[in-house]
């Protein structure tokens, strides 16, 4: 390079520096800015990456939970539908029993499909079935039996073993409902001497009835005869403080009983499995809660004067020696043993009544004497079969559990209630 060219380049560079186009150390500042921009970009990308990873993990976990939830629901739904299928197969069961009866000289077993439907459902869910603790069928590993993942099962009982609080169409029905409901309430919460009218429990029973009847007039009772009569005052006056009125229409669910004046949470917890709002008339003593059976016995004693002894209330250890409680224990044993051999405890209402005639063979004579029942009144109250069946099924998958409660009308074979939890 010539000396003149070098001078020109130095002159141009000096001019550019004079104009501010070149500054000493400019390249270092540019590299610093570039590094800062790169670090900022990396930080932003890191945040985006972490957020994406988090959202992906949430999505995966959510999809897994949703899958388990759907699977658990389908297990529970399958259990309900299988139980309903078995309950509806009465004709098939009757045909099989008729053939079986011919082998036993014409005596046909009386088997309720509703009582044992869930035994078949549980066998399907688990792939095995036992009878009285002994293995009966083992289909584990067979196609179509058991579940590859999760579990299911159910239990069933008929609603006809509960007191129907919607049975209030006329004064006669109200009287029948009151008599049973009052005895049930009296045994749970009564404070007066047995045999005397407990006014508080009687009023609560009347309030339960007045909530469901179609008029807005209070139902009264003659304390001497305990006969109901049409009152003259307006019902539901006490509800004004709560901000609502008496419904004056049938209960939709038993949960409504909690709105009735005088009903407490403690008493409701005792009654919740002993009441129904569905179309039942006579109480099925094969499935009724034992407290309901005891109430029926106390209501229908042949000599009401024996009630003070037969149905004495006590909260101490002496309760196990009260005659009606002792009889209740024998009834429970009978029902448990008969169910184990797929047989109804009482095939007819008459057999239930005769049970009390035979108590003297297993109980002391003084117990059996005070527990004699009025056969005619008892037969008007009790039955040994049901129409409405309650199916409570569950399904699991992973950590998820789903429960379905369904009430099946065995006559129409239609569901009258359905709840998913």
Residues 340 and 133: their CA atoms lie apart, in Å, by 9
User: What's the burial of 296, exposed, middle or buried (CB within 10 Å: 0-12/13-18/19+)?
Assistant: buried
* Residue 136 lies inside a defined structural domain of this protein: yes
Task: Please state at what angle helix 323-340 crosses helix 290-299, rounded to 10 degrees.
Answer: 130
User: What's the burial of 117, exposed, middle or buried (CB within 10 Å: 0-12/13-18/19+)?
Assistant: buried
* Residue 187 lies inside a defined structural domain of this protein: no
Q: 82: domain range?
A: 64-160+388-420
Cβ atoms < 10 Å from Cβ of 24 = 7
Residues 304 and 318: their CA atoms lie apart, in Å, by 22
- The structure tokens 């002792």 sit at 326
CA angle, residues 230, 231, 233, in degrees to nearest 5: 150
What pairs with residue 347 in β-bridges? none
Question: Residue 229's pLDDT is what?
Answer: 86
**Spatial contact of 341 and 132, defined as CB atoms under 8 Å apart:** yes
* Residue 118 lies inside a defined structural domain of this protein: yes
Question: Closest Cα partner for 254 from 227, 234, 274?
Answer: 274
Residues in the chain: 421
**Spatial contact of 98 and 110, defined as CB atoms under 8 Å apart:** no
The total number of structural domains in the chain stands at 1
Task: Please state at what angle helix 171-189 crosses helix 290-299, rounded to 10 degrees.
Answer: 110
* Residue 94 lies inside a defined structural domain of this protein: yes
* Residue 95 lies inside a defined structural domain of this protein: yes
Tens of pLDDT along the chain (421 residues)? 556 566 656 666 665 555 555 455 556 666 777 777 778 878 787 777 777 777 777 766 667 778 888 899 999 999 999 888 888 876 666 666 566 556 655 555 556 677 778 878 887 888 776 655 666 666 666 666 667 788 888 988 888 889 999 998 888 999 999 999 998 888 877 766 777 788 889 999 999 999 999 888 888 898 888 899 887 777 777 787 878 888 889 999 899 999 999 899 989 998 988 999 987 778 999 889 999 999 999 999 999 888 888 888 776 666 778 888 889 998 998 888 887 777 788 888 999 999 888 888 888 888 889 899 999 999 999 988 888 889 999 999 988 999 999 999 888 888 989 999 8
**Spatial contact of 304 and 338, defined as CB atoms under 8 Å apart:** no
Residue 113's alpha-carbon distances to 139, 258, 387, 410, in angstroms, are: 22, 33, 12, 10
* Residue 154 lies inside a defined structural domain of this protein: yes
* Residue 91 lies inside a defined structural domain of this protein: yes
User: What's the burial of 401, exposed, middle or buried (CB within 10 Å: 0-12/13-18/19+)?
Assistant: middle
Cβ atoms < 10 Å from Cβ of 124 = 20
* Residue 120 lies inside a defined structural domain of this protein: yes
Residues 281 and 165: their CA atoms lie apart, in Å, by 10
Residues 273 and 254: their CA atoms lie apart, in Å, by 9
């Amino acid at each position: 390079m010539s000396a003149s060219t070098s001078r020109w380049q130095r002159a141009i560079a000096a001019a550019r520096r004079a104009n501010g186009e070149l500054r000493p150390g400019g390249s270092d500042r540019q590299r610093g800015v570039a590094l800062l921009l790169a670090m900022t970009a990396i930080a932003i990308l890191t945040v985006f990456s972490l957020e994406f990873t988090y959202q992906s993990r949430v999505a995966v976990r959510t999809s897994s939970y949703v899958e388990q939830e759907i699977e658990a629901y389908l297990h529970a739904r399958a259990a309900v539908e299988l139980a309903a299928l078995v309950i509806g197969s009465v004709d098939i069961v009757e045909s099989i029993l008729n053939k079986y009866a011919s082998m036993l000289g014409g005596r046909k077993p009386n088997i309720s499909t509703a009582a044992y439907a869930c035994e078949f459902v549980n066998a399907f869910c688990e792939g095995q079935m036992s009878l009285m603790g002994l293995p009966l069928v083992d289909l584990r590993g067979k196609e179509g039996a058991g579940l590859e993942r999760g579990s299911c099962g159910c239990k069933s009982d008929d609603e006809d073993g509960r007191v129907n609080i919607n049975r209030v169409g006329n004064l006669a029905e109200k009287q029948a409902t009151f008599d049973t409901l009052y005895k049930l309430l009296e045994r749970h919460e009564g404070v007066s001497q047995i045999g005397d009218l407990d006014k508080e429990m009687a009023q609560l029973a009347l309030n339960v009835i007045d909530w469901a009847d179609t008029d807005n007039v209070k139902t009264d009772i003659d304390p001497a005869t305990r006969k109901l009569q049409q009152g003259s005052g307006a019902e539901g006056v006490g509800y004004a403080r709560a901000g609502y009125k008496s419904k004056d229409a049938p209960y939709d669910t038993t949960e409504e009983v909690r709105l009735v004046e005088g009903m407490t949470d403690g008493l409701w917890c005792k009654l919740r499995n002993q009441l129904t709002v569905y179309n039942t008339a006579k109480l099925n003593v094969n499935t009724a809660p034992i407290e309901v059976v005891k109430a029926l016995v106390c209501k229908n004693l042949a000599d009401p004067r024996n009630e003070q002894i037969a149905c004495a209330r006590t909260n101490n250890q002496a309760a196990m020696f009260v005659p009606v409680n002792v009889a209740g224990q024998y009834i429970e044993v009978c029902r448990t043993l008969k169910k184990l051999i797929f047989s109804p405890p009482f095939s007819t209402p008459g057999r239930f009544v005769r049970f009390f005639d035979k108590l003297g063979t297993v109980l002391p004579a003084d117990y059996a004497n005070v527990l004699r029942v009025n056969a005619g009144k008892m037969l008007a109250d009790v039955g040994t079969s049901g129409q409405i069946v309650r199916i409570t099924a569950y399904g699991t998958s992973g950590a998820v559990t789903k429960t379905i409660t369904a009430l099946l009308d065995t006559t129409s074979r239609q569901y009258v209630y359905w709840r998913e939890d």
